[in-house]
Chain A
Amino acid sequence: MKFGVIVFPGSCDDVDAQLACARVADAVPLWHADHDLQGVDAVVVPGGFSYGDYLRAGAIARFAPIMTEVIDFAREGGYVMGICNGFQVCCEAGLLPGALLTNVSLRFVCRQVSLDVANADTPFTRALPAGRPLSVPVKHMVGRYYAPADQLDRLESSAQVVLRYTAGQNPNGSLHDIAGVINEQGNVFGLMPHPEHAVDPLTGSADGLGLFVSLRDSVSGLVGGGR
């Protein structure tokens, strides 16, 4: 099982994402200007400020050469996890519903938050401990999840809201306290919090590791189960 972590100009969480992936499987960097996914089994679009976040966060990165391959990969059912800026990129690319707007506070927030797992039956959350919130950091300026009312209703009714900020901890004004959503097909997942920064008790929490374990097991199940 091999993870690929995209590296855009301006990515800054790609190294931590690779280290997190490497704790559970193999991990390789994927250069933004390449058209080669190197045969990876899952793609992580990492956090940072790709292309300076010029115009809108993720708007330019979404057209990077590697994203053409990632979009094809996702359309064919490949697993993609977008973290923070990667979430913004996936929304801009149309891989995930909705958009991320500037925090209501107009401030960059950087703190540990508590997350409720709203859907534990996804390829990204199956290995998480049941019935316990996750402690994972957020650090962003543009993290307010928004979707039009009708789309939001569909997301809720089809259990596409996967992670929510625990009541009272919403750091950015996201609608319905949404911290992470999954696409309709269930193979593309985006979240604003940073699980890759919470994989070792040394930094206060290892709750983020469960997402990477889930993804590895989902891919392994797919391969081992012969589909």
Chain B
Amino acid sequence: MRFACHPTPQRRPGRSRRSRITRAAQVRLESVRVGVARTAATAAARSSIQAVKARVLVRPKAGILDPQGAAAERALGALGFAGVSEVRIGRLIELEVTDPATLPEMCERLLANPLIEDYEVLLDSAP
């Protein structure tokens, strides 16, 4: 059930054989494509497999008491800011990944605890 969110690890995340093979395959692909091109061209090709910037937002699940949020809310009120409610405090994780498809698994297995936290993955769309 909920435990399925925490499968038995075969390896540490980010060091899986699959991601290594994927990276190796990509590098091989690049080198084939570039062929005997000069160093400058190789460098340009390498940039095409560059890591993508991503942000992972982790929030306490709705309904879970968030005393930090409540304390910040009270403090805002004390500063004179009226009409502030529903303050919730989570976590922002910034990272760079070569294979963004692995991000949900990273979140499920390590970056968030799905029992108590929701997560959202935002990819930096800039080239």
Contacts and interface: CB of A to CB of B under 8 A. Distances in A.
- Do A and B assemble together? yes
Interface of A: 55-56, 59, 62-63, 68, 71, 92-94, 97-99, 101-106, 146-148, 151, 173
Contacts of A98: 115
Given A98-B115, A102-B67, A104-B65, A63 B3 contact: no
Chain A CB count within 10 A is highest, among B8, B13, B71, for B8
Interface of B: 2-3, 5-9, 12-13, 64-65, 67-68, 71, 110-111, 113, 115-116
A106 B68 contact: yes
A104 B67 CA distance: 6
A147 B71 CA distance: 23
Chain A: interface secondary structure?
A: loop
Contacts of B13: 63
Given A105-B67, A146-B64, A151-B2, A99 B8 contact: no
Given A104-B67, A105-B67, A99 B113 contact: yes
A110 to B, nearest CB: 18
A68 B12 CA distance: 11
Contact of A94 (B6, B67, B71): B6
A163 B58 CA distance: 31
B6 A101 contact: no
B88 to A, nearest CB: 13
B110 A59 contact: yes
5 contacts: A55-B110, A97-B3, A99-B116, A101-B64, A106-B71
B116 A101 contact: yes
Contact of B9 (A63, A106, A173): A63
Contacts of A101: 64-65, 116
Contact of B110 (A63, A97, A103): A63
Nearest to B4: A94
A102 B116 contact: no
A146 B71 contact: no
Contacts of B71: 106
B113 A148 contact: no
**What are the 7 tightest A-B residue pairs by CB atom distance, in nearest-first order?**
A94-B6, A94-B3, A99-B116, A99-B115, A104-B67, A106-B67, A63-B9
A63 B12 contact: yes
B67 A148 contact: no
